Amino acid sequence: MDQTQERNLGPQPIADIMDKLGLKSHDLVAASTEQITHKMVTRACKGRRLTVNTKLKIRNALNAATEKQYSLKELFNY
């Protein structure tokens, strides 16, 4: 049987950042110029393993919502 990668990696730093700034997933979806969903943001915060493309979209949305420049390493610990 194949060894599978762990998919649930626990709460991510992006959840703390959003909480400190008072942002909800809807704020990121509304600020995004790319097509992201509330479910994608929720998965990012809870630590569900995401593709690089999805992580980039989430990062871009957060940067647009906050007018700051976060890196992927600041938002995700995997």
Tens digit of pLDDT for each residue in 25-48? 999 999 999 999 999 999 999 999
Residue 35 lies in a domain: yes
Average pLDDT, the chain: 93
User: Is residue 62 one of the residues assigned to a domain?
Assistant: yes
Task: Using alpha carbons, list the distances in angstroms from residue 76 to 2, 3, 9, 41.
Answer: 26, 23, 10, 12
What per-residue confidence (pLDDT) applies to 1?
46
Give domain status of residue 36, yes or no: yes
* pLDDT value for 58: 98
Q: Kindly give, in sequence order, each residue whose CB lies less than 8 Å from that of residue 17, ignoring residues fewer than 6 positions away.
A: 62, 70, 74, 75
Range of the domain at 57: 13-68
Confidence category of residue 4, pLDDT binned at 50, 70, 90: low
Q: How many domains does the chain have?
A: 1
Inform me whether the pLDDT recorded for 11 exceeds 70: yes
Q: What pLDDT sits at residue 3?
A: 55
50 belongs to a structural domain: yes
**Residue 59 maps to a domain:** yes
Does residue 20 form part of some domain? yes
Q: Give a yes or no: residue 4 inside a domain.
A: no
Write out the two tokens for 55: 């992580």
Q: Is residue 46 part of a domain?
A: yes
